[in-house]
Amino acid sequence: MMTLTVVFLSILNIYSYMFHQRAVESTFFVLPKLRAIKGESVLKYYLSHPLHATEAQTKDFFCEIDLAEGTQEIVSVRFAADVTTFDSGNSSRDAHALEVVEALLYPEVSFQSSAIENSNDELRVSGVLSFHGVTKNISFSAKKKIVGSKLIVEGDTNISLTEFKVERPALLMIRVNDTLRISFTVAFALP
């Protein structure tokens, strides 16, 4: 009788485990991921000096967002860009910029969101920016809109060169402003 009870309880435990596994598997889902459309998405930076302003851009970067299931609500974002791909239209200035940001030591700038607040078409994004070997928490606002079959997200933020340990370049012994403005327009094909 004891053996029969042990066998019965073992079978009951196996069925209980299998049922629990199915319940867990059925509640697990993968959030839809969208990748930026290269060539239609642009990441820019702006740097100003009392004598002139500099703008450089790249269209060669990785950006991916996760959408809440069944909606177009953005729940996370991550991006990475090779700093050597930014182009200001002046190769001498770009070469100097690569020296200043020590591109050989720190070739990538990246961001990973930790929270995104969606309010209609307005977004408030918080996360971690890694640039020049320094990682900092930042927050910024962005807007999203649907254009045809694409989701377009636009926004900008300012960072301090000093906080990211970037030595501010100088022209005629006058240093550039400490504020580096970053803007983006990213296009995603909707499923």
Structure confidence by residue, pLDDT tens digits, 60-78? 999 999 999 888 899 999 9
Name the residue ranges covered by the structural domains of the chain.
1-30, 31-189
CATH class of 31-189: mainly beta
Distances (CA, A) of 104 to 86, 97, 110, 133: 14, 12, 16, 11
Placement of tokens 């991006």 in the chain: 79
Per residue in 147-189, pLDDT (tens digit) is: 999 999 999 999 999 999 988 877 788 887 889 999 999 999 9
- The whole-number pLDDT of residue 154 equals 97
Q: Would you state the pLDDT for residue 108?
A: 96
Give the pLDDT confidence score for residue 30 in this predicted structure.
59
- Residue 109, judged by CB atoms within 10 A of its CB (0-12, 13-18, 19+), counts as buried
